[in-house]
């Protein structure tokens, strides 16, 4: 598996569009084999992944029926992949974020936009397969990449894909949400929503994002090896900036010092940029679109 990742990383680090595309397809092929293939098991399956390099023209998703979560967690190849993601050298999300940064610097054209969309899709997939990688978006420079992609000059497809990536980056990760808020992410999102030039499709995605944002936060339970993880981040210190009383904030901090906010506190923050937040909260309470409890 390291050999395949090495080939993909070499291509992803290029400034040449076709090579970047090949690297993205190689990562996609690896993830597809882990998530979809049931052809083999045990050491044989793990080694077959290491020796297989997806063709640039192959359809990585047309492999086999998808696995359920129980099957995936018992798969030796998935376990090997997850273990590799714990370190900097083989972490895929980190390489994809760097690739995304370079693609954004190249400007906007049709082919480059397609590469950005592919990178965003893969970031979503990798961070769902390896949730600790989401902590990369606690860094301001990485979160800023997503906020830049929400600017009006980007095409609607990129804006929609970025909103979905943002949801994946924020879910069960309050530290990332505090970074998002600290970088005026709420202003970016609401400005896009209020803009007349924003497409209807993107506005619907924005409403979905706001419903998601207003949900009360529940951080992921810490892993037993979290102290040794290279992705562990210092707890957020930005309590005062969110209109939260310091003493109450500490009461809501978990054992790792992560500050979480309730729906009411998030409503107060969002109301600084949007006038109809109360209606959103009422809808959230009445419809419970995510099956959760609003408090």
For residue range 228-279, what is the model confidence (pLDDT) as tens digits? Answer: 444 543 333 333 333 344 334 334 565 557 789 999 999 999 999 998 899 8
Nearest alpha carbon to residue 137 among 128, 127, 129, 151: 127
Q: Are 23 and 12 in contact (CB under 8 A)?
A: yes
User: Residue 91: is it exposed, middle or buried by C-beta count within 10 angstroms (0-12/13-18/19+)?
Assistant: buried
pLDDT value of position 211: 93
User: Could you give the count of Cα atoms lying within 13 Å of 184 in the half-sphere of its Cβ?
Assistant: 8
Which residues lie closer than 8 Å to 186 by C-beta, 6 or more apart?
Answer: 180, 213, 269, 270, 272, 273
How far is residue 250 from each of residues 115, 213, 239, 244, measured CA to CA in Å? 42, 21, 9, 10
Which residues lie closer than 8 Å to 33 by C-beta, 6 or more apart?
Answer: 49, 52, 60, 63, 77
pLDDT value of position 284: 81
What is the crossing angle of helices 76-85 and 110-129, to 10°? Answer: 110
DSSP 15: S
How far is residue 55 from each of residues 40, 58, 61, 166, measured CA to CA in Å? 20, 5, 12, 30
Nearest alpha carbon to residue 215 among 267, 137, 145, 258: 267
pLDDT value of position 107: 78
Q: Are 100 and 117 in contact (CB under 8 A)?
A: no
Low-confidence spans in the chain with pLDDT less than 50: 39-43, 60-61, 63, 224-230, 232-251, 295
pLDDT value of position 202: 97
Q: Are 14 and 98 in contact (CB under 8 A)?
A: no
Residue located via tokens 């190689």: 26
The C-alpha atoms of residue 80 and residue 95 are separated, in whole angstroms, by: 18
pLDDT value of position 290: 62
pLDDT value of position 112: 94
Angle at 77 between CA 72 and CA 80, to 5 degrees: 110
What pTM was computed for the model? 0.80
């Amino acid at each position: 598996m390291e050999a395949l990742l090495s080939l993909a990383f070499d291509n992803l680090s290029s400034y040449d569009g076709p090579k970047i595309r090949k690297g993205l397809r190689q990562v996609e092929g690896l993830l597809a084999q882990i998530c979809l293939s049931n052809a083999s098991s045990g050491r044989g399956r793990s080694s077959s992944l290491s020796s297989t390099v997806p063709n640039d023209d192959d359809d990585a998703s047309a492999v086999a029926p998808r696995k359920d979560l129980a099957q995936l967690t018992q798969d030796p190849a998935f376990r090997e992949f997850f273990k590799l993601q714990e370190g900097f050298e083989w972490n895929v999300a980190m390489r994809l974020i760097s690739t995304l940064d370079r693609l954004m610097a190249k400007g906007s054209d049709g082919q480059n936009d397609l590469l950005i969309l592919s990178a965003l899709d893969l970031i979503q997939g990798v961070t769902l397969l390896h949730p600790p990688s989401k902590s990369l978006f606690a860094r301001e420079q990485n979160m800023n990449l997503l906020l830049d992609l929400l600017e009006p000059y980007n095409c609607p497809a990129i804006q929609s894909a970025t909103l979905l990536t943002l949801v994946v980056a924020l879910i069960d990760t309050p530290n990332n949400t505090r970074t998002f808020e600290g970088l005026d992410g709420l202003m970016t999102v609401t400005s896009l929503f209020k803009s007349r030039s924003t497409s209807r499709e993107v506005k619907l995605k924005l409403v979905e994002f706001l419903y998601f944002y207003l949900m009360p936060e529940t951080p992921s339970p810490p892993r037993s090896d979290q102290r040794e993880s290279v992705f562990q981040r210092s707890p957020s210190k930005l309590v005062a900036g969110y209109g939260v009383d310091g003493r109450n904030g500490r009461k809501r901090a978990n054992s790792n010092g992560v500050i979480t906010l309730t729906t009411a506190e998030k409503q107060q923050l969002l109301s600084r940029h949007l006038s109809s937040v109360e209606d959103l909260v009422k809808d959230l309470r009445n419809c419970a679109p995510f099956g959760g409890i609003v408090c």
